[in-house]
Structure 1
Amino acid sequence: MLRHLLWLFFLALHAAGAGQYNRDSLLQVLPGLPEDSVRVQVLLDLSWAYFRSDLNKSLDYANRTETLARKLGLTEKLAASKRIKSFTLSGLGNYREADSLLVSALADYRLAGNQKMIANCYSELGWLKRLQNDPAAAVDYFGQAIDLAGKAGDINTQAQAYNYLAGLYADQKQYDKAIENYEEALERVRQLDIQPGISACLTNLAAVYTELGQNEKAIALNREALPIKEATGDLLGAGRVLNNLGIAFNELSEYARAREVLQRADSLAREVGNERLVNTVGYSLSVTAYGLGEYRRSIDLCQRLLDREPPVTDLDLLSKIYRRLYLAYGALGDYQRAFESAENWGRVTDSLYDENILKATNEIEARYQSERKNQEIALLASEKSLQQLQLNKRVNERNGIIGLSLLVLLLAGLIYNQYRLKQRSNLELQELDRLKSGFFANISHEFRTPLTLIKGPIEKLEQNPGETLSREEVRMIRRNTQRVLGLVNQLLDLSRIDQGELRLKPTEGDVFKCLRAAASAFNSHAAQRRMDYSVRIPTDSLWASFDRDKIEQVVYNLLSNAFKFCEDGGTVAFEATYKDELLTMQVADSGRGIPSGDLPYIFDRFYQAQGGMTRDREGSGIGLALSRDLVELMDGTITVESEEGEGARFTVQLPLRAIRTRGHGEMQDPQNTLQEAEPPKAFAFRSPDLRNLPLVLLVEDNPDMRQFICDGLIDAYRTLTARDGEEGLKLAISRNPDLVITDLMMPRMDGVEMTEKLKTRIETSHIPVVMLTARAGMENKLEGLETGADDYLTKPFDTRELRVRVANLIRQRQRLRDHYQQQAHAVVPEEVTATSLDQQFLERLHALLEAEHADPEFGLPQMQRALGMSKTQLHRKVRALTNTAPGTLLRNFRLDRAAQLLRQEADTVTQVAYRVGFNNLSYFSKCFRERHGASPSTFCD
């Protein structure tokens, strides 16, 4: 019964125009027409004309249309004939052939390029699948129809497909999806102003809300549909709407209102002569009477229905009538008739159950018979093939050998192709694993630095309970707590997006004001880096409903990205415009740009561009991905334009409808949740540190970390700071510090590259290096140590541990210098535990002193030229390794060699003085006495 009703509704929709055909006129014209396209159209019109009254005649004319259209080569007419044949056969219950014909019609429409009819065919195939109890296929066809109709601009077909899809979901009790799709259909028929379609969608929606028990919504929708039905002259439809209103009022126990609308429905039903509606309204009136306590009237109304001619045949309605009689007689105390009514109710219910079982059995039997026939056909075909194989055995054997060979080749090709696919899949999995590993390494780096800056002051307070934290330290903790919280929120947002749980939370406010506040947060950062930062936002207000938090996140991510990849002194620009209900935001920078090979993947999760200037610029790989997901959540788009070396420009476009109904004075922007950026601090001159303490060079790009480490070392060391590896290398060469502390990841030049350059330059190779990093992996530690770093410390670290390691390295270097000063006369390279470059330098220096110490003309200038170093470089290098100036080292070497010769008593004092490069005997004696505590003449006594 339900399937029959669905098919009737389908026919009503698709044959709505059939009444326009004058069947008698067409029959008179047909005999005199030649076999041309006009005759084809007349035959097609006759098929539609008979469609609602005589399906067999409709099928006959459709067959004649198909034959002539195929003969004349009229592709679209051929497709139209197959389509009407499909409708007719489905009406006759032959769904399988109807399905096949509609698929064939779809192929013809594709060949003709008729996009509108292609969409129609998909919608109609979905309807057929719904009748065949194949909801999965039906949903797929309806979805394709909606997409194709949208692309073709066919709003009517799109609305029709949404309506069918909603009905399917309603059948499956998926009422949320049914409501969603009915509303989509209603929106489109409203757009086209199709009044019958609007009323149909409203009544369909009302039926769903009635099923959900939401009778108030159902009443509102039916009341909206009723005037449309009346205005379009659809009396039958108006009667059904009034009956639905009566049912809803009965459910709400508003029986007086129910009786009023049901009486109007009864009048319309009798006027149009629709027996089914008369019976349905009569039963609804009996329910109303029962609800008002008018049990006799309820019984009379039910009895009239049972006595009607023709009699009621709908078993479901009969079951309800007998049940109402049972309740009414019971309320009157007439238990004998109540019992009889209950028996009739049970009998009809059993018949209804048996009918459903029989229908299901018949469907199963029909499927079985169909499958059996198919199997018999297949068996006959196989027997015929066997006979043919026997007759052509030799030919087939030869063909078999050829086919086997081809099959082997094909299998080999498939195996090889499968191997290649597997290899490619493995490479893709390895790449994904590499991207994820890089992501987790980078995100740990993002966490470790702020955690170190939070942990340090807390440990300081824990170690010194009597002290308090300074205001700057508290601000530093707050800034880095916000940074960690922001990272965690980004990760949570990505997770919620993946799970489909992130929702927009729009509030009314001034969009331009929100953007100005977000962009201004970068003013102080731009000022500190001496960058040209311009913000162009209209000065007027744009009042709209938008998700403030999501837009702020997008702006922050894009501006942070622009500043990160732009050098100091560069340019960053932010611009916002609004036109045609579209908010456009652009962020441009003059940085190094994005390589063309990376552009297609720049918004992918975990992706970082390769070959960057510095590894810290890789980021965590989530900022741009999160921005893209947030923009898409707001139904917007985000694009990027860039050339390597020319900077990048990101463009975000968001659909936004301005609210213009409120007065300007009423527009009160909600409290701005943006954290106010701290104003840049005034520049202050630092007084030079003149304490006689070791000099430590700190190379760190994070200003908070730089200040934190300096505060921890200031009591025991003089400190010198640099913001990146390039600046740190210059300071190390010019100032020759006692130790260098460097971060691993920095702009312009990272810690690994700087350490490598320090350890490969003769004038700085002796300086011990402590490397700090937030990357805790063994490969990162080995990379740092292999470049020559003397120690390695992972963030977050304890300040006391850093001080101990610094003190140990400086003390070790001092012991090396003291050890040399205690040597009798020679530099012994193998006893100096320094880098290989320092060993080579000491060996060259020792060989030079051995070769030239006897030459009285050999001095510092000659030593500088021989070693290829300036006076300052030579002085710093020799003092750093031996704690002795180069001139003193040469003089001591000559005096120690003189002492060796005097012990051997090989020559006189005068001869020894000349042999070790002294021309002045009195000066030799003076220097010798200072070095060895005795004059040369008494040295061996």
Structure 2
Amino acid sequence: MRYTLTLSLKYLKICIPFLLLFQSISVLAQDKKLDSLKRVSVDTSVEDSIRLQTKLYIADYIFRRNLDTILPISKDVIQEAEKALTKGKSPKTYKKLIVRAFNNIGYYFSKKEQQDSSIYYYEKGISMAQEIGDINRISLIYNNLGAYFYRAGNYKKALSYYDKSLLLAEQHRLNYQKALALNNIGMLHRQQKDYDKALEYYNKSYELQLSRKDTNGFALANNNVASIYFYKKDYKQALHKWKQSLAWYEATKNKRSLAITTNNVAKAFQRLKDVDSALKFFNKSLALKKELKMTTSYALTLDNISQLETQKGNLTTGEKLALEALEIFKKKGRIKNLEQTSKNLSILYTKKGEHKKALDQYKNYINYRDSIANKLSKKELIEQDVRFKYTTQKLRDSIVNENKIALKEVEIKNKSYQNKLYLASLILALIALAGIVYFFISKRRESILEVQKQQEINTLKSNLYTNITHEFRTPLTVIMGMSENIKKNKYVDDSVNTIKNNSKHLLKLINQLLDFSKLEENKIKLNYKRGNITNYVNYLVESLSSHATTHKVDLKFKSEEQIEMDFDPNSISHIITNLISNAIKFSPENSEVLIESRKLIKNEKDFLELTVQDFGIGISEEHQKKIFDRFYQVDNSSTKNYEGSGIGLAIVKELTELMKGTITVNSKVNKGTKFIVTLPIENKATDEFHIPAYSGEKQKTRKSIKVNSNIEQPLVLIVEDNKDIAKYLTHCLEDQYRILYAENGEEGLKKAIEHIPDIIVSDVMMPKKNGFELCEDIKQKEITSHIPVILLTAKATKNDSLEGYTKGADAYLTKPFDQEELLVRLEKLIELRKKLQSKYALGETIENQLNSKNENVNDIFISKVISVIKENLDDSSFNASRLASELHFSESQLYRKIKATTNSSTSIFIRTIRLDEAKKLILNSSLSISEIAFKTGFSDPSWFNKTFKEKFGETPNSLRK
């Protein structure tokens, strides 16, 4: 039925809600009705919010055919909505429109594969949606972000956004968003070929859409369920499901979905070897796709029908259809489809006996395949190679078989020498052809593998430089910060020593890079000297003992005998120092690291065996095979627990092999690791090596972090595993703040719960629990949710800061940071906490503040506290201790939490709730003042009168009058 918009603009305002409903079902369905929407969008007599909403409907409708239209329309909506906001018009209405527009722009850039712009606009949309409590749109944007990362192949990131969308949808009963998220998570599992898991999520989505009575929704979900059965090769069940969807789409006259589902039904019949039924449904789908101008999809169906006609022996029909599909794919630039269709044509021409055409099409197939080879994954390349070899073999076999038949007939007719010579020549030609094809395949595979190997090396090198620059940032932070102390003539001696230590660390990193560069260019030359290597190793162990003591690890050295041999002191120092430093780093506190030296005999030759063994976290078998590879790191995440550049062990291996030795590793996860270095013992060097005397000087015990005892100053919890950074932060803050210190995230969380600090400053990369995890825990726990968190990190990328903010961080500073900036951030966050206190200021408005729909963790906590107090309102013995017990907090924890959020003590907070309730009873009940006092927990009416007057400025009797 056709509808025509006949309402005059005079009555448009009155009928606008009906108009929008009408447009959603009818106007958007037909192009000619688009004009009606456009007229509404430019009609100044229509309410601005309706006009802008109409513009967004237009964008939603036409972007499917022309994506570029979405950008100017959405920007125009934002501009007009912002003007409306400046005029004081309904903020929530116009901000909702801006959120939708931001979502559209994010979608536009995601389709254009412009990641930074896409994420930027999506996040702007989320931020504004959070501001107005538009949970529905936040959930949708999370789904869109997930879809973007899914298309980009970042499935882990995609899943995190789908999970966020699902969580919001479940919490707020948003069934459409929930069904969408479930469907998308199912799609992720399908992509990773976890079909059982995919089926589980698709079925959940289907059930939800069914309950919503959304025909298109449950038909789509049903189609996805069918696809999983198809992938699992349960073609009968897939066919059954697709036929169900077909009936629904026919009832709703959804031609586009009908075309696609009909095609799927045909595929199921094809797999069930019911060729006639498959052809019937493919032809139905073809007609629909032609009508709807689904050109590319139309060509794909042509190709499917061509294959079936070829299978039935209708080679001429099959050829005609395949050539038509080929032309469409050429116009559309669909290289992948050109590759497949060329291969199909090659097989078809082989069956027709037209071998020249078959070879021509096969050459086309190879050319198309080459053009997309670099875009294929390794797995796809292997599969392509298998198919390539199989098809080539079939083609060669076909040619050989047909020529054998021809030659046999010739042989029967004439067995002359000339024909035998012809046969021999032909066979030699075929062998030569096979050799050429095989050579081509081998070379192509070698080329592909070389490209992949180079790409892997480039990626690993990039990780190396990222990690090295990250390691530079920490000592630079300390050096720059301590130099400021010297300028101010503060902590001069301490600062000089700290600068010296961190400068040595930087020099070590630089030397490591130089050594690595020399090794790559084969420029390192060994300088062999003769000496007692046992004593030298002992000297190196002793020089690292203070470092081990700092980490609460015990170093032990054992040797069966004194060994004299030739060795390069610099190389031995590098190997031993690196292995022991790693062992200390990965060892738990109060454990030990064993270093052993002994002589062994192999094949009648003497060797030195050095072992370094720890009892720490261990290395998995998977990583043991790669830890000596250049650039490789066991943990390459942005928040790994143990820092490093990824080249140390590679250098150790190179140096060991340069000295004609070997290095191996034995390790078990959570039980420890042993490195074994074996070097040949020779005594040919003329120069002697004298071991330097070891002074035995220990590092001075680090002073504990200073604690300011001024109770009036805010308490800052510093969580940082690097003692020098912690010391610098203490110097920055101790004049204005009390300091509490923890050396890792796990300890930081315990201290945060125990002491309830006013603010937390935490590093990101720490052992046991990193800063992101700590921040997330702090923000999720009732007792600590109000505490602002500043994250410090040496990782300077945008993605790292975004991850910090998604975990709830209130500020994110990159090392090296400016002291003034840190102090300003702290001051502003303390001010924000005071605003939180004013929100929960004690008075009649406190519960009104909590009645908003956008409850956060603090709202929930205060609501719970008030609820418990009210439950015990008439119990005069109910006090702070009882309240803490009811809430499962210690009394001191509860005091600090309530003080931080309301700026009031627990006892005063309880009394205020009692007085507020008493005031309500005075105004709204006929109870006597004494009865009200007892009912609200005051055992002494005179005390009740006094406290009531202090709070409200008048006595209970005066208020009642």
TM-score by length of 2: 0.50
> Taking every aligned residue pair, what percent have the same amino acid on both sides?
34
Determine which of 446, 453, 458 is the counterpart of 2:483: 458
Question: How far did residue 783 of structure 1 move?
Answer: 1.8
**Could you tell me how far apart the structure 2 residues matched to 1:833 and 1:650 are?**
60
Secondary structure at the aligned position of 1:806 is classed as helix
Letter in 1 for 2:677: V
Determine which of 912, 916, 919 is the counterpart of 1:896: 916
Alignment of 1:592-671 (within 5 A): 592-610=617-635, 615-617=640-642, 619-658=644-683, 669=690
Question: How far did residue 719 of structure 1 move?
Answer: 0.9
Relative to structure 1, the CA distance from residue 844 to residue 426 in structure 2 (aligned partners, 3 Å threshold; closer, same or farther) is: farther
CA contact (8 A) 1:613 1:747 kept: no
**Could you tell me how far apart the structure 1 residues matched to 2:883 and 2:547 are?**
50
Determine which of 867, 880, 886 is the counterpart of 2:900: 880
Alignment of 1:914-925 (within 5 A): 916-925=936-945
Aligned to 1:551: 572
| Structure showing greater Rg | 1
Per-residue Cα deviation, 1:650-674 (whole angstroms, up to 9, x for no partner): 1112234236989xxxx672767x9
CA contact (8 A) 2:610 2:677 kept: yes
Alignment of 1:666-677 (within 5 A): 669=690
Secondary structure at the aligned position of 1:654 is classed as strand
Per-residue Cα deviation, 1:220-250 (whole angstroms, up to 9, x for no partner): xxxxxxxxxxxxxxxxxxxxxxxxxxxxxxx
Letter in 2 for 1:582: F
Question: How far did residue 940 of structure 1 move?
Answer: 6.9
Question: How far did residue 398 of structure 1 move?
Answer: 14
Letter in 1 for 2:768: R
Aligned to 1:42: none
Secondary structure at the aligned position of 1:443 is classed as helix
Determine which of 521, 540, 562 is the counterpart of 2:583: 562
Alignment of 1:224-243 (within 5 A): none
Relative to structure 1, the CA distance from residue 685 to residue 487 in structure 2 (aligned partners, 3 Å threshold; closer, same or farther) is: closer
Aligned to 1:480: 502
Determine which of 497, 510, 534 is the counterpart of 2:556: 534
Question: How far did residue 501 of structure 1 move?
Answer: 1.8
Per-residue Cα deviation, 1:283-327 (whole angstroms, up to 9, x for no partner): xxxxxxxxxxxxxxxxxxxxxxxxxxxxxxxxxxxxxxxxxxxxx
Question: How far did residue 859 of structure 1 move?
Answer: 4.9
Alignment of 1:675-686 (within 5 A): 679-681=698-700
Relative to structure 1, the CA distance from residue 924 to residue 491 in structure 2 (aligned partners, 3 Å threshold; closer, same or farther) is: same
Alignment of 1:430-441 (within 5 A): 432=457, 434-441=459-466
Question: How far did residue 640 of structure 1 move?
Answer: 0.9
**Could you tell me how far apart the structure 1 residues matched to 2:767 and 2:674 are?**
21
Per-residue Cα deviation, 1:654-709 (whole angstroms, up to 9, x for no partner): 234236989xxxx672767x9x7851435878996431222111111111111111
Aligned to 1:812: 832
Letter in 2 for 1:557: N
Relative to structure 1, the CA distance from residue 429 to residue 824 in structure 2 (aligned partners, 3 Å threshold; closer, same or farther) is: farther
Question: How far did residue 419 of structure 1 move?
Answer: 11
**Could you tell me how far apart the structure 1 residues matched to 2:926 and 2:442 are?**
88
Per-residue Cα deviation, 1:836-888 (whole angstroms, up to 9, x for no partner): 32222123334555666466676546644654444343323222211222331
Aligned to 2:722: 702
CA contact (8 A) 1:766 1:835 kept: no
CA contact (8 A) 2:486 2:492 kept: no
**Could you tell me how far apart the structure 2 residues matched to 1:766 and 1:845 are?**
15
Question: How far did residue 600 of structure 1 move?
Answer: 1.0
Q: Which residues of structure 2 form unaligned runs of 5+?
A: 1-403
Alignment of 1:266-415 (within 5 A): 391=410
Secondary structure at the aligned position of 2:735 is classed as coil
CA contact (8 A) 2:705 2:730 kept: no
Secondary structure at the aligned position of 1:645 is classed as coil
Question: How far did residue 780 of structure 1 move?
Answer: 1.6
CA contact (8 A) 1:609 1:618 kept: no
Are 1:749 and 2:752 counterparts?
no
CA contact (8 A) 2:638 2:795 kept: no
Relative to structure 1, the CA distance from residue 391 to residue 621 in structure 2 (aligned partners, 3 Å threshold; closer, same or farther) is: same
**Could you tell me how far apart the structure 1 residues matched to 2:438 and 2:684 are?**
64
Aligned to 1:496: 518
**Could you tell me how far apart the structure 1 residues matched to 2:458 and 2:814 are?**
24
Aligned to 1:691: 710
Question: How far did residue 801 of structure 1 move?
Answer: 1.7
Per-residue Cα deviation, 1:560-619 (whole angstroms, up to 9, x for no partner): 111111111112011223455533221111112110111111101121225999713252
Relative to structure 1, the CA distance from residue 406 to residue 631 in structure 2 (aligned partners, 3 Å threshold; closer, same or farther) is: closer
Relative to structure 1, the CA distance from residue 406 to residue 725 in structure 2 (aligned partners, 3 Å threshold; closer, same or farther) is: farther
Aligned to 1:281: none
**Could you tell me how far apart the structure 1 residues matched to 2:866 and 2:615 are?**
53
Question: How far did residue 453 of structure 1 move?
Answer: 0.8
Relative to structure 1, the CA distance from residue 728 to residue 802 in structure 2 (aligned partners, 3 Å threshold; closer, same or farther) is: same
Relative to structure 1, the CA distance from residue 411 to residue 546 in structure 2 (aligned partners, 3 Å threshold; closer, same or farther) is: closer
Question: How far did residue 469 of structure 1 move?
Answer: 5.5
**Could you tell me how far apart the structure 2 residues matched to 1:533 and 1:613 are?**
31
Question: How far did residue 816 of structure 1 move?
Answer: 2.3
Per-residue Cα deviation, 1:48-97 (whole angstroms, up to 9, x for no partner): xxxxxxxxxxxxxxxxxxxxxxxxxxxxxxxxxxxxxxxxxxxxxxxxxx
Letter in 1 for 2:557: V
**Could you tell me how far apart the structure 1 residues matched to 2:436 and 2:940 are?**
98
Aligned to 1:794: 814
Question: How far did residue 519 of structure 1 move?
Answer: 1.4
Determine which of 589, 611, 615 is the counterpart of 2:614: 589
Per-residue Cα deviation, 1:745-773 (whole angstroms, up to 9, x for no partner): 11122112222222222212222111111
Alignment of 1:191-206 (within 5 A): none
CA contact (8 A) 1:766 1:834 kept: no
CA contact (8 A) 2:530 2:683 kept: no
**Could you tell me how far apart the structure 2 residues matched to 1:413 and 1:877 are?**
75
Relative to structure 1, the CA distance from residue 661 to residue 548 in structure 2 (aligned partners, 3 Å threshold; closer, same or farther) is: closer
Determine which of 539, 543, 546 is the counterpart of 1:524: 546
Relative to structure 1, the CA distance from residue 553 to residue 891 in structure 2 (aligned partners, 3 Å threshold; closer, same or farther) is: same
**Could you tell me how far apart the structure 1 residues matched to 2:446 and 2:798 are?**
34
Alignment of 1:17-166 (within 5 A): none
CA contact (8 A) 1:763 1:876 kept: no
CA contact (8 A) 1:829 1:843 kept: no
Aligned to 1:337: none
Relative to structure 1, the CA distance from residue 700 to residue 393 in structure 2 (aligned partners, 3 Å threshold; closer, same or farther) is: farther
Letter in 2 for 1:895: L
Q: Aligned-pair RMSD on alpha carbons?
A: 4.5
Secondary structure at the aligned position of 1:821 is classed as coil
Give the number of equivalent residue pairs.
546
Determine which of 734, 759, 762 is the counterpart of 2:754: 734
**Could you tell me how far apart the structure 2 residues matched to 1:390 and 1:834 are?**
89
Question: How far did residue 812 of structure 1 move?
Answer: 2.0
Relative to structure 1, the CA distance from residue 789 to residue 418 in structure 2 (aligned partners, 3 Å threshold; closer, same or farther) is: farther
**Could you tell me how far apart the structure 2 residues matched to 1:571 and 1:394 are?**
90
Aligned to 1:574: 595
Secondary structure at the aligned position of 1:782 is classed as helix
**Could you tell me how far apart the structure 2 residues matched to 1:683 and 1:555 are?**
26
**Could you tell me how far apart the structure 1 residues matched to 2:793 and 2:839 are?**
33
Letter in 2 for 1:845: V
**Could you tell me how far apart the structure 1 residues matched to 2:585 and 2:521 are?**
30
CA contact (8 A) 1:613 1:748 kept: no
Q: Which residues of structure 1 form unaligned runs of 5+?
A: 1-384
Letter in 2 for 1:594: I
